[in-house]
Amino acid sequence: MTINAENAVFANLDEVEPRLATQDYVSDRKLATVVFLATRLNKPILAEGPAGVGKTELARSLASATDRALIRLQCYEGLDEAKALYEWEYSKQLLYTQVLREKIGEVLGPTRDLREAAQALREREDVFFSENFLVERPILQAIRSERPPVLLIDEIDRADEEFEAFLLEFLSDYQVSIPEIGTVVAEHKPIVILTSNRTRELSEALKRRCLHLQLDYPNAELELEIVRLKAPGIGDALAQQLVGTIQEIRKLDLRKAPSIGETLDWAQSLAVLGAPQLSKELIEETISVIAKYDRDADKVLAYVRGNQGNALAQRQSQQDDAIRTRHNNTIEERHGDLYGQPHSHGSHSH
């Protein structure tokens, strides 16, 4: 195993979180450790978790934070090696064949039979199977990149197991073989991030090859930080109510729980509507932003309208009281400082 210290992407572990934060990506120590080790050990990252928890965004943010190109391979059922690696530009080859028809005739003229004609073509096939006709797909692009890129292999669980086997071979030595050209070896090894929504179990061999990163829905504190960062137009009290509601909704038996992206869409929608606080009526009016299936929408609305809805209103009221208390304490402190009066910090949490 090669330890990449000389051309280190990050000087040390403590540098990872701040660098990602410059791209508005909120991370924690665990995530930062996996990213740091991946760059030092030249190992790919396998990020698994439900859709919409920041797996793809991690690759984008890492590329931007390290000033590297992002090359993305979107996986799907039926994806094969050719579509991921390279293709020949057949239309261009055909055009050249038509233009050079006379020359091809001259080459084949002296041949006496079909076997000799085929041999003559084989001896010159490099004319039509050369770099000039090669179309690079994401993996070959990453290998031949003049600067080390970030290669995102998105939703690997949607690809077939046969493609997984090819990918495993590529990740072992970062080289590929093109029969007409030869073996192509990566001069600069890319940072590779594979994502999986866990729609199927990946092979043990692929998991062993990678550093594993489990990403789940964030807790309330982290999600509130994300909302404040990505949706600054929403008030703090409303942001807390929104995040608390999303956290409760995710506990329901839904086909698709609201992702972080849908939390942000909801926050921005409420900001556009100028909502001062979150009410049952407002949730009903904007349910389509966070629930993508009718059954899910019905469950959320039943929750909001029922006893759970009363609990939601009570929790929101408690949040409002806490916010007002902090606000009043702040005013008292400022007045105390202004008039030189002492004040107690006993009720504050630092």
Is 4 a domain residue? no
Supply the range of the domain harboring residue 41: 13-85+137-214
For residue 233, what pLDDT is reported?
86
Is 121 a domain residue? yes
My answer on whether 103 and 245 are in the same domain is no
My answer on whether 153 and 72 are in the same domain is yes
Is 2 a domain residue? no
**pLDDT tens digits, residue range 179-233?**
777 788 888 899 999 999 999 999 999 999 999 999 999 999 999 999 999 998 8
Is 110 a domain residue? yes
For residue 178, what pLDDT is reported?
78
**How far is it, in rounded angstroms, from Cα 207 to Cα 258?**
27
Q: pLDDT-derived band of residue 332, with 50, 70 and 90 as boundaries?
A: low
Average pLDDT score over the chain: 83
**pLDDT tens digits, residue range 273-331?**
999 999 999 999 999 999 999 999 999 999 988 854 555 556 556 655 555 565 556 55
Is 66 a domain residue? yes
My answer on whether 202 and 297 are in the same domain is no
My answer on whether 143 and 288 are in the same domain is no
Measured CA to CA in angstroms, residue 250 lies from 89, 220, 288 at distances of 48, 11, 15
Asked if 195 and 156 touch (Cβ cutoff 8 Å), the reply is yes
Is 142 a domain residue? yes
Residue with tokens 């084989």: 122
Last residue of a domain, one of 197, 214, 231: 214
- Please give the tally of structural domains in the chain: 3
Is 64 a domain residue? yes
Higher per-residue pLDDT: 91 or 238: 238
CB atoms within 10 A of CB 326: 13
For residue 259, what pLDDT is reported?
94
Asked if 86 and 136 touch (Cβ cutoff 8 Å), the reply is yes
Is 306 a domain residue? yes
Residues 6+ apart with CB under 8 A from 236: 228, 323
My answer on whether 120 and 152 are in the same domain is no
Residues 6+ apart with CB under 8 A from 125: 180
My answer on whether 129 and 241 are in the same domain is no
For residue 140, what pLDDT is reported?
92
My answer on whether 107 and 160 are in the same domain is no
My answer on whether 71 and 149 are in the same domain is yes
My answer on whether 61 and 110 are in the same domain is no
- Report the DSSP beta bridge partners of residue 191: 150
Q: Is the pLDDT of residue 19 over 90?
A: yes
My answer on whether 330 and 224 are in the same domain is yes
Q: Is the pLDDT of residue 260 over 70?
A: yes
My answer on whether 145 and 271 are in the same domain is no
Mean pLDDT over residues 240-255, rounded? 94
My answer on whether 72 and 209 are in the same domain is yes
For residue 91, what pLDDT is reported?
66
* Least confidently predicted of 39-48, 58-67, 101-110, 258-267: 101-110
